Amino acid sequence: MKTPARRWRAVGAALVAVAFAGVATACSSSSSDDGSSEGGGTYAIWDPYPQFNDDSAWVKLLGSCGTSAGVTVERTGYDTSDLTNKALLAAQQDNSPDVLIIDNPVISTLAEAGALTTTEENKLDTSAMEPNLLGAGQSGGKTYGVPIGANTLALYYNKDLLTKAGVDIAQVKDWPSLTTALAKVKGAGKKGITFSAIGTEEGSFQFLPWFWGSGAQLTALDSAQAVSALTLWTDWLKQGYAPNSVINNTQTTSWQEFASGDYAFSENGTWQLGNAEKLDFEYGIIPVPASSGGTAPAPTGGEFVSIPVQSDTGRYATSQKLVACLTSPDNLLTTDTTLSYIAPVAAVQDKQVAADAKLKVWVDAVQAAKGRTGDNLGTKYPKISEPLWTAMQAALSGAKSPQEALSAAQTTAASATK
């Protein structure tokens, strides 16, 4: 672990990397007089779920875990981007919360800044966690938290529309069969597929199942496999199987297009399940297919429960109890149902499917998924993702061919990650 002086310099560099604007304000201290290394007192937990109030099942769980640990929990919910900035600033000021629940791609940034302890240091048991989900919280061979749940991407489909177009969904197993289905849908006078290809991380997130499903790697953006994935998308636009609006679509606006009933398919996530139940037509879900069949690896979303570095190391024992409570199998089942997440533990996933058979496709997708910062990319990932979404935009708009766009992206990414 870095000494405080070295850690603060590292955190300062991370703060510059995030480049957040505005005047920084003081954060809640977890090292206040009402908490001590002797047990009892108040422990601060920060999470990215501001939508949950004090009466919610989530906040009640936090309170009950505090009671079990013999402390009072002081919980603060932030928007995801705001939480990242505040976590980095708090680390710089040696003022971090005792427990931090953070979006998984941010783990490597905080770990590199020396702001998080490892699971080994705090004896957090991760043995039951699915390795592919745990990988999103690993950096430099060390694990910096415990996954609380995961979401990912799959393809929603309009059953009525496909039936009328003569498409048997059971035959849609790879890219050629999916493209054939889109052609039939267009031939029937309807629209094929909608997704988000916006020039942000959201666009990269949606492209990654196709990118990885081609066999491409993020260290070689201009490989033949990568070009085939971007060509698939550009050809869909050229053939009229996907709308030009995908270039500006967020995952929300692409869902709205699907909800209109005019589209056969929509690439979207677990978080749309509630909205799916409100659709005016019958829907189904299949995994995003890999190019030659099987389930494509989709990127994992979701958070990790981590223990930030504290100057008062005596607080760690209680923080460990809080994390163990929040990520116990019994609590994961309730929490992941509330968050529309798939649990990171196989036994809990089985219980989720037993309670709701429609979750089976999501469990399969999560089991095949991978972390964006995995493959030892860590903090290099954002420097690769931006050139990737830039290439997507250039190719889909017709400004460059897929090969030209991805060659430029690889040059940019290689220079940025040296």
Express each pLDDT in 217-229 by its tens digit.
999 999 999 999 9
Where do the H-state alpha helices sit in 19-158? 57-69, 80-92, 107-112, 131-134
Looking at residue 187, its pLDDT comes to 97
Q: Could you report the per-residue pLDDT of 245-289, keeping only the tens digit for each?
A: 999 999 999 999 999 999 999 999 999 998 999 999 999 999 999
Rounded (5°) CA angle 284-183-229: 80
CB 225 within 8 A of CB 214: yes
Pairing of strands 263-269, 283-286: unpaired
pLDDT for residue 359: 93
Q: What is the amino acid identity at position 200?
A: T
Question: Is 263 within 8 Å of 257 (Cβ atoms)?
Answer: yes
Residue 145 and residue 306 in contact, taking contact as beta carbons nearer than 8 Å: yes
pLDDT of residue 30: 39
CATH architecture of 4-147+303-340: 3-Layer(aba) Sandwich (3.40)
Answer yes or no: are the C-beta atoms of 272 and 358 closer than 8 Å: no
Measured at the alpha carbon of residue 54, what is the angle toward residues 53 and 57, in degrees to the nearest 5?
85
Listed in sequence order, the DSSP H helices in 327-401 are 329-339, 346-355, 360-368, 381-396
Segments in the chain below pLDDT 70: 1-39
Do 203 and 385 contact (CB within 8 A), yes or no? no
Joined together, the tokens standing for residue 67 give 């009671």
Give the angle subtended at the CA of 219 by the CAs of 365 and 391, to the nearest 5°: 85
Q: What is the CATH number that goes with domain 153-299+375-416?
A: 3.40.190.10
User: 304 pairs with which residues across the strands?
Assistant: 102, 147
Other beta carbons less than 10 A from residue 127's beta carbon: 6
Conformation bin of residue 289: beta by default, left when phi > 0, alpha when psi is -120 to 50: beta
Contact 287, 365 (CB under 8 A): yes
Nearest one of 174, 139, 148 to 58, comparing CA atoms: 148
The answer to whether 4-147+303-340 and 153-299+375-416 have equal CATH topology is yes
Q: What is the pLDDT of residue 39?
A: 61
Dist. CA 381–CA 373, nearest whole Å:
6
Give the pLDDT confidence of 118-147 residue by residue, as tens digits. 999 999 999 999 999 999 999 888 999 999
Domain boundaries, the chain: 4-147+303-340, 153-299+375-416
